[in-house]
Amino acid sequence: MSLHESEVILDYSVKDVFSIFAKTAKRDFPGFNEKDPIGATVTKQVGAYSSKTGTMTVEITDYIKNEVYEIRSNNSSGSLVYISRYEFTALDENKTKLVLIESEGANGIFSTVNVFMTKYLFKKRIKRRFDYFVKSLENELQALMDRRNGTNRKSANTEVDTEEVVVDKEEMTEE
């Protein structure tokens, strides 16, 4: 089994960071119940952009509000398992440590080869994927803050240059 751990410090409250995960779970898992989400499953088609497609079953295997969100993904034969565990730690009121622990297991002879390949050959790809995930998460969190504050990014970042125009009534009637 190969194991990868990544972490980041986010300048948002643990409640806000976790709310993005809860929102995603509500969207992705039909019948998601926040009071008892463990065991919620969804089946997805994967490999849309590759020559080999398959079916994955994704299940919420651990969920503690504002602390842990874990999903387990299995292929249809059960020979390949991915576990993604997100751990949330409040460092202060508006600072959260997010740790992602990903493990991957495969049955059979290719298990050892697969562990070696992912551990050494795909290390940069895993880092890039985590960086992209963090950037997307921060964008969602910023959008949440903007909605909460009643602003949007366009109006906050756009300066409008206005010029006062004085029109003399007499000049208009003469033309």
Residue 49 lies in a domain: yes
CATH number of residue 88's parent domain: 3.30.530.20
Residue 7 lies in a domain: yes
Residue 119's domain comprises 2-150
Q: Tokens standing for 162?
A: 């206005």
Residue 173 lies in a domain: no
Residue 161 lies in a domain: no
pLDDT tens per residue across all 175 residues of the chain? 577 889 999 999 999 999 998 888 889 998 888 899 999 999 988 776 666 778 889 999 999 999 999 999 988 777 778 899 999 999 999 999 999 998 877 665 555 555 555 555 566 777 888 899 899 999 999 999 999 888 765 544 444 443 444 444 444 444 4
Residue 146 lies in a domain: yes
Residue 65 lies in a domain: yes
Residue 41 lies in a domain: yes
137-168 residue pLDDT tens: 999 999 999 998 887 655 444 444 434 444 44
What is the model's pLDDT at position 171?
45
Residue 60 lies in a domain: yes
Number of domains comprising the chain: 1
